[in-house]
Structure 1
Amino acid sequence: MLVPDFPFSYDSWLRHPAGLGSLPPDRAGTEIAVVGGGMAGITAAYELMRLGLRPVLYEAEQLGGRMRSVPFPGEPERIAEMGAMRFPLSGRSLFHYIDLLGLRTFPFPNPLAPSTPSTVIDLNGHRHHARSVEELPGIYQEVSDAWDKALQERAELSTVRDAMRRGDVETLKVVWNRLVTEFDDQSFYGFLATSPSFQSFRHREIFGQVGFGTGGWDTDFPNSFLEILRVVFTEADENQVGIAGGCQQVPRGLWRHAPADLAHWPVGTSLAGLHGGAPRPAVTRIARTPDSAGFSVTDEENTVREYPAVVFTPHLWTLLHRIDCDPRILSTEHWTAVERTHYMGSSKVFVLVDRPFWRDTDPETGHDVMGMTLTDRMPRGVYLFEDGPDRPAVMCLSYTWNDDSLKYATLSADERLEALLSSLAAIHPNVDIRSHIIGDPITITWETEPRFMGAFKSNLPGQYRYQRRLFTQFMQEEMDPAHRGLFLCGDDVSWTAGFAEGAVTTALNAVWGVVNHLGGGTHPHNPGPGDLFPDLAPVELPYV
C-alpha cells in the first residue's frame, strides 16, 4: 500500500538489517507513554521497546482496539471479527508482523472472489446467482466497465499503478498531486455523476449497491473521492485474506513476543513482561509538566506519571471529551483538524450455525441453496465462513455502513436477528436459516461504542488540508516547543483509514518522531519517514 500522498516504503524500512534507528546511551530505558492498545499502539510500543526505551501502554478496554475477535460461547475456535476482518496483501508492513508471529491466513470470501463458492445478488426484488461477474446479466458487466473507464480516463489509473510497481516516486507524486488539486472538493458520487460512462442513474445505483471487489460503495458516496482513489491505487480492495483464529492475534501476539534484536533490554523481554502482564488503565488526563519539558499522564486509578513524550493512538474525538487535555499539547491548527475528523459508522451481526448448510444443493436450480449475499435490503452484505462440511460455521448476517448501520443502532441483539432473518427469508425463501443457528447473536455498532464513536475516519470533500495536518504532525522540529512531544498516530491520522496497514505505518512515523525528539536518529543506510519527508511530503494545497 504505497500511499501516493507520502510514498515511503515502510516495509523496506522495517526489514532493513540496520534497524529503525538508535538513541543516545543515556536515554536507554526512558519511559514513553503509549495511549491505546490497538494495532497502532502495540506497533509503536513494540518498536520503541526494540530501540531500548520503556513504553508504558495505557488501554481502556482490551488489547486490539478494532482488531477485535470474539469467540462464540462453547465454540472458542469459531470467532466473530467485530472490526477489521480482511487484509489486502499489498499491506506489507502489517504482514511484516503477521509473518513475524507465524499466523496463518485464508482467502477472504468476498463477493465473486475465486475462493467464494457462490454469490447471490438481490437488487430491486430481482435475484441473480453467480460465481463470476461474467455469469451476471449484461448490465453488471456494463457497470464494471464504466468504473474501469472512469478511472482510466479521469484518474490515470494505469499510469499511477505502473509508477507504483516500478517504484517511480517522481511520476507518482506528479500525477497524484495533480489529482489532489482536481478532486479534493469532489465527492465520490459527484465523480460518478460527472463521468461520461456513468450518465445512467441505473448504472450508478447498481454500482453503489453492488460495486466490485468487496461489495457496494454507496455509503461512501458522500465522502471525498480521494479516499476512494487511495483504496483503488494501493490495491487495498483486492487480494484480501482473513487471519485464521482471528485478527486480534496480531496485537496480542506482539504484546507477548520477545524480539531477538533488542537494544538495552535482556533477551526474552516482551511488552507483557515490562508491564507485569497487563497494561495501565484508561487515560483520563494529559497535561504539560510545570516546566513544559514533558507531559503528565493521569489514568483511571488516579496514578500520575511523567514522560518526555507521548504517543496517542485512539480515535481523536476522545481528546475532545473522554480525556481532560491541556490545550497546549496541540496547536490551534491541529485542534481544528481533530474537530473536523469525520467517521464512518458500521454495524455487524454474527451467528454460529451447526454446519455450512449453504453448500446444500437446491434440487430446482442445481445451485447452492445460499451464497455470499449482496442486497439493497437491510442486511446489505452476508458473509459465510467455514472450515469443514460437518463442523460448526459462522455467518456474518449483516455488515453495514453509515445510514444502513444506524438502522440497527436502537435495536437489541435479538431484534437485529429477527429483522435480518425476516429480510433474508425474502431473498432465500427456501432456506430455514433459523433452524441452523446455535446460540445467541454477537453484534456491534461502532458509532455507539463510547471509546470509538465510529468505525474509522473518512474525509468529506474539502478536508484534505486537515488530513495533511494530522498526518504530518510527527514532523515537529519547526513547531513551537510547547507543542512538541505528543505524537498522533493510528487510523484517524492515516491516509488509508479503515485498513490496519495505516495504523501500522503512522505508528512507525510516531516511532521516528520519538527517536528524533529524544536526540536519536536513523542509520544513514536506512533513512526513516522523517528523513525523507522533504522529498516525499504530501502536497500542500493553498489555504487562501
Structure 2
Amino acid sequence: MTSAIPTTPSHAEEPAAPITMFGPDFPFAYDDWVAHPAGIGSIPTTAHGSRIAIVGGGLSGMIAARELLRMGFQPVIYEADQIGGRMRSVGFEGHPGVVAEMGSMRFPPSSTTLFHYLDAMGLTTTEFPNPLSEAAPSTVVDLKGETHYARTLDDLPDEYRAVAEAWQQTLEQHAELIPLQDAIRTRDTVKLKAIWNDLVTRLDDETFYGFLARSEAFRSFRLREIFGQVGFGTGGWDTDYPNSILEILRVVLTAADDHHRGIDGGSQQLPERLWSRPVEGAAYWPEGTSVQSLHEDGRPRGAVREIRRTEPDNFTVTDADGNIETFPAVIYTAQSWMLLNTIRADERLLPIDHWTAIERTHYMGSSKVFVLVDRPFWKDIDEGTGREVMSMTLTDRMSRGTYLLDQGEGKPGLICLSYTWSDDSLKLLPLDAHQRTEIMLNSLAQIYPGVDIRSHIIATPVTISWEAERSFMGAFKANLPGHYRYQERLYTHFMQDRLAPHFRGLFLAGDDVSWTAGWAEGAVTTALNAVWGVMHQFGGATEPENPGPGDVFDEIAPLVLED
C-alpha cells in the first residue's frame, strides 16, 4: 500500500540517532518512558485491586491490561473473538510452525515502543522480504502487460527511477522532509512542532493525490500512475490517494514503511504472551500473577453487547452471555465503529463532538489470500534466463502484491498470493478462498507462464477481508481531508480533566484513535495514554524523573485547529 523509497537525503552522513515513531503530532518519548527503571507510575494502596474493564483483547488491550496489573489494578478483558485482534496468525492443519499473518505481518524498527514489548516477551524478528528490499532476492514489476525483473531499483527502466526521485523531491520541497526527520532524530520537540503544525494548517484539506498533482516533480500523469499502481517497497499508493496527505507524511517522516521485520513464529504471539505471562514486580498481586490468571477458567469475558453509565460514577457492561458487571473505569480498545452498531452504547459515554468524530472515522478495507506449498519452489533457477522462476511481485493485475515467504530448509513454502486494499479488496469481498485463489493464480500465470503454482499447493487456502469481519469492519482508520479535528479529539480523550465530570471514566485506545493507524506502535502508545488516564483518575502519579504523557501534555499537545 505504501512506499519504501529511501527518504534519507543522499548527501547525508550516517545519522547519529535513528528515526523513530516520535510524533510528529504528539512527540512524547514512549520508548524511554516504559524503559525507565522508575516505572511508569503507581497508585495509592486504597486503589489496589480495583477492577478495570478493557474492551478488546488485541495488542492495545493487552498492553493496557499488563501495565494496569503492574500498578495493582485488576484488568478484566472482554474479547469478541480471540486474543490478538488484528495480530492474527493462522496455521495450517498438519503443518505446525507455519502461520499466515492475516493482519499485522511487518513492523518497522522505528516502532521502538513496540520493540520494547517484543523484547520483554522474548520474541525475535527477521527481515521481511518487501519487494526491492535487501531481504527480497528479486522483484518482478508487471505494469500494463510489461514485466521487469529487478534485484534493486536501478535494474528497472529509467521511468521507475524517475518516480522515486520525484517522490523524494516532492517530500523535500513541499513537506520539509529533511528538517522534520532531523528533528525526529534529535527529538527536538520545539523544532518538530513548529514545522509540523505549519504543515497541518496548510495541508489538512489536501488529498494525497492532490499533493502529488501540484508538485512540479509529478507533473507527468504517467509518473503518478506508476507510483499509484505499483509503487515500490510494500506496494502501490493509489488506494491511499483519496486520503489526507497528513496520513502519508506521518508514515514517511517516521520511517514506518522502511526496513520491515516479521515476528518469528507469528505476530499473535505478542498479545498472547502479554495475556499469559506473569508480570514481574507487580504491586499488590503475588509473584506469578498474569492477566490470564485473574480471569475465571483462564478465559476473557465474551463480546460486549452494552455499556451504560450508572450511578454514582460507574460503567455497567453486559456481555454476549448476558453477564452484567459494573466498573469504575473502562478502557475501550476495539474499533470505534462498534460503538455505533454492534454495541449498545449509552450516549452519555462521550461528549457529542467525540461521537461526531467516531461517526466520521474512515476505515480502509484489506484482503489477503495465502497458500501453503510443498517447498519454496520459487528459488528454482530457470535454465533459460538464469533467474529465479518467481519473485516478489508488484502488478496492476488483480493479485496486486505477491509475497514469497521462505520458512527455512526442509519446510513448506508460504505464498501471500494477494494483498489488496480498499477498492481492490471490495472486488473480492463476495468470493470465498477458493474463488479468490483461482483469480490470483490466473493473474500470476500471465506474469509467470511457465510456473505451475497450483501443482505445489498442499493445504486449503486461507483468506480474510477485514471489512467483512463483524468485530472490525475494516483494517484500520485512515483520515480523509479535513479530518484532523476529529483525530485530535479522539487522540487527546485520555486527558479527561478537560472534560465535564459526567463524561469521564471511559478511555479510548487502540490504533484507530492513534495518529499512525495501521501500525502497531499506535496501538501500544494509545494504550499507554489510557493507562496514564486511569492511573490519574485513581489518584496515582508518575515519578518526577519519569513523567508520563499526561504530565507533559501541555508542552507538546497536538495543534488545535480553529473552526
Aligned partner (choices 371, 382, 391) of residue 362 of structure 1: 382
Amino acid at match of 1:16: H
Which residue of 1 is the match for residue 146 of structure 2?
A: 126
**Is the Cα–Cα contact under 8 Å of residues 169 and 217 in structure 2 kept in the other structure?**
yes
**Is the Cα–Cα contact under 8 Å of residues 33 and 55 in structure 1 kept in the other structure?**
yes
**Is the Cα–Cα contact under 8 Å of residues 378 and 423 in structure 1 kept in the other structure?**
yes
Mapped partners of 2:247, 2:459: distance in 1: 39
Shift of 1:434: 0.4
Mapped partners of 1:259, 1:326: distance in 2: 34
Which residue of 1 is the match for residue 547 of structure 2?
A: 527
Aligned partner (choices 109, 118, 124) of residue 129 of structure 2: 109
Mapped partners of 1:273, 1:88: distance in 2: 32
Amino acid at match of 1:477: D
Which residue of 2 is the match for residue 238 of structure 1?
A: 258
Which residue of 1 is the match for residue 317 of structure 2?
A: 297
Which residue of 1 is the match for residue 15 of structure 2?
A: none
Instruction: Work out whether 1:448 is the aligned partner of 2:472.
Output: no
Aligned partner (choices 517, 528, 538) of residue 537 of structure 2: 517
Instruction: Work out whether 1:541 is the aligned partner of 2:561.
Output: yes
Which residue of 1 is the match for residue 294 of structure 2?
A: 274
Amino acid at match of 1:33: A
Q: TM-score, normalised by structure 2?
A: 0.96
Aligned partner (choices 215, 228, 237) of residue 208 of structure 1: 228
Shift of 1:388: 2.7
Instruction: Work out whether 1:54 is the aligned partner of 2:74.
Output: yes
Mapped partners of 2:390, 2:475: distance in 1: 29
Instruction: Work out whether 1:85 is the aligned partner of 2:105.
Output: yes
**Is the Cα–Cα contact under 8 Å of residues 107 and 262 in structure 2 kept in the other structure?**
yes
**Is the Cα–Cα contact under 8 Å of residues 356 and 390 in structure 1 kept in the other structure?**
no
Which residue of 2 is the match for residue 337 of structure 1?
A: 357
Mapped partners of 1:454, 1:103: distance in 2: 28
Mapped partners of 2:325, 2:516: distance in 1: 33
Instruction: Work out whether 1:263 is the aligned partner of 2:276.
Output: no
Mapped partners of 1:459, 1:499: distance in 2: 14
**Is the Cα–Cα contact under 8 Å of residues 287 and 297 in structure 1 kept in the other structure?**
yes
Which residue of 2 is the match for residue 182 of structure 1?
A: 202
Mapped partners of 2:251, 2:360: distance in 1: 21
Mapped partners of 1:252, 1:478: distance in 2: 35
Mapped partners of 2:385, 2:251: distance in 1: 37
Mapped partners of 1:42, 1:140: distance in 2: 42
Percent sequence identity is 60
CA RMSD of aligned residues (A): 0.7
Which residue of 2 is the match for residue 309 of structure 1?
A: 329
Mapped partners of 1:53, 1:247: distance in 2: 27
Task: Give SS of 2:458's match.
Answer: strand
Mapped partners of 2:219, 2:518: distance in 1: 30
Task: Give SS of 2:211's match.
Answer: helix
Aligned partner (choices 297, 305, 308) of residue 287 of structure 1: 308
> How many aligned positions are there?
542
Shift of 1:210: 2.1
Aligned partner (choices 23, 29, 40) of residue 43 of structure 2: 23
Shift of 1:294: 1.3
For each residue in 1:441-489, what CA deviation from the matched residue of structure 2 results, as whole angstroms up to 9, or x when unmatched?
Answer: 0000000111100000000000000000000000010211111000000
Q: TM-score, normalised by structure 1?
A: 0.99
Mapped partners of 2:27, 2:231: distance in 1: 27
Instruction: Work out whether 1:151 is the aligned partner of 2:174.
Output: no
Structure 1: gaps of 5 or more residues: none
**Is the Cα–Cα contact under 8 Å of residues 286 and 323 in structure 1 kept in the other structure?**
yes
**Is the Cα–Cα contact under 8 Å of residues 69 and 279 in structure 2 kept in the other structure?**
no
Which residue of 2 is the match for residue 326 of structure 1?
A: 346
Mapped partners of 1:25, 1:11: distance in 2: 27
More displaced, 362-371 or 30-39?
A: 362-371
Aligned partner (choices 247, 257, 274) of residue 254 of structure 1: 274
Amino acid at match of 2:55: V
Which residue of 1 is the match for residue 450 of structure 2?
A: 430
Shift of 1:519: 1.2
Mapped partners of 1:4, 1:211: distance in 2: 25
Structure 2: gaps of 5 or more residues: 1-20
For each residue in 1:125-182, what CA deviation from the matched residue of structure 2 results, as whole angstroms up to 9, or x when unmatched?
Answer: 0000001001111110000000000000010100000011111110000000000011
For each residue in 1:410-461, what CA deviation from the matched residue of structure 2 results, as whole angstroms up to 9, or x when unmatched?
Answer: 1111111111111110011010000101121000000011110000000000
Which residue of 1 is the match for residue 13 of structure 2?
A: none
Which residue of 2 is the match for residue 42 of structure 1?
A: 62
Mapped partners of 1:446, 1:460: distance in 2: 19
For each residue in 1:222-245, what CA deviation from the matched residue of structure 2 results, as whole angstroms up to 9, or x when unmatched?
Answer: 000000000000100001100111
Shift of 1:290: 2.8
